[in-house]
A and B are shown apart, each in its own frame.
Chain A
Amino acid sequence: MEKGKGLARRWAVELHDASSSSSSFPDPPGFTRSAPEADDAATARQRKDSEVAWKGQKAWEVAQAPFKNLMMMGFMMWMAGSTVHLFSIGIVFSALFQPFNALRSVGKVFEPFKDPRVDTLAPKLLFIALNLAAMGLGVWKLNTLGLLPTNASDWVSSLSPAREVEYSGGGIPLI
């Protein structure tokens, strides 16, 4: 029936059904047509998984980045010495402000790794901890420079003398 119909037309171009025409060719050996199609979802999942892994890895890397910074700061501080001058003050302030800024932008830093399946909490915590450590180093340095009011002397140095209740004037009488 179909043939008869076909005979009736001189020619026909079937543009759309490539598969039907290609399916006329035998599949190469070892090729199962159904396999990739069945695997498609799996590949996507796999790709996603690797991205998640990558994101997780990256997040950890980002989280660990301050550690390097920490080491460098430590070295710089050691170089700066324990006397108050422009260089040491600069270093201490950068050591304090860098972690502070990092902590302020902690959300932004981990923005690219935001994923419901990626657990950024742990890297975030590490990041925060390391930055806090860097800040602590800065504070410690500030203290070694003697710029922290930790001594009693820092609190009494501007204390004016106490009022006296009694007053006694006099001296040698005028001759």
Chain B
Amino acid sequence: MDRLAIEKTYKLFVKNEFIRSESGHSLAVTDASGVTNVARASRKDARDAVLAAKEGHKSWAGKTAYLRGQVLYRLAEVMEGRRAELVESRTRAGATDAAAEVDAAIDRVVHYAGWADKLATILSSANPVAGPHFNVTSPEPMGVVVVVPPEQRPLLGLVSTILPIIVSGNAALVLAPEADPRTSVAFCECVATSDLPGGVINVLTGLRSEVLPHLAKHMDVQGLDLWKSATLGDELAKASAVAGADNVKRVKVRAEAAADAEGLGFVEAWVEQKTVWHPVGL
């Protein structure tokens, strides 16, 4: 006898918890398999997520770089274990190269996990100042970065944008791709079992045009990583960058295609450099 499958409820992911939108609203996602409802995040959800991300950043940045690398590698392990589900989710959304995308995404997580305890070595400098002073410059996380990842190859886009932000100790607040929000939620299930502290990765599904303008103004957000796509056009990107200036946010607006790349440059964009001086003497 055929067994009736259990359907998944797609919720928001904030502070390592799957929650419904406080608004009670949902969005219908239609594909060949039928209609699925995903949560439609509200402004209030966005505000709550910023608070969660602030806490997540504090906890995460306080860990050793070694531990951050371990946890991020663990995320890759969990994704590998859920590989079939991730492939199925992307295929269901219409992807034709789902397996390749998932493999690339898992490998990308491994790539950035390895940067955790190396980025400070490469991005730091010992500065030979002309005087009896010890002087070192080293990178530090900024805090909370709002990410609007690409719509194309959304799982790969998600990890390619989030990982370089969080590897240094930042927290990410992600506005999921609208075309395939379900894979983002499946990814969050990997995050939830990876030992990442709550609040480091927060993912809101819904309408970007509804939530982003509010987050762009938020004074507890330090950065905006905006990847242009069908759901983030020039106008919304520009308006967000203008609003971001209210507290001198670090804003990057980039072309979608560039997301399919990895490396230290993406990490460097989301760190602050701190220089410490101290006299040397007896």
The reply to whether chain A is a binding partner of chain B is no
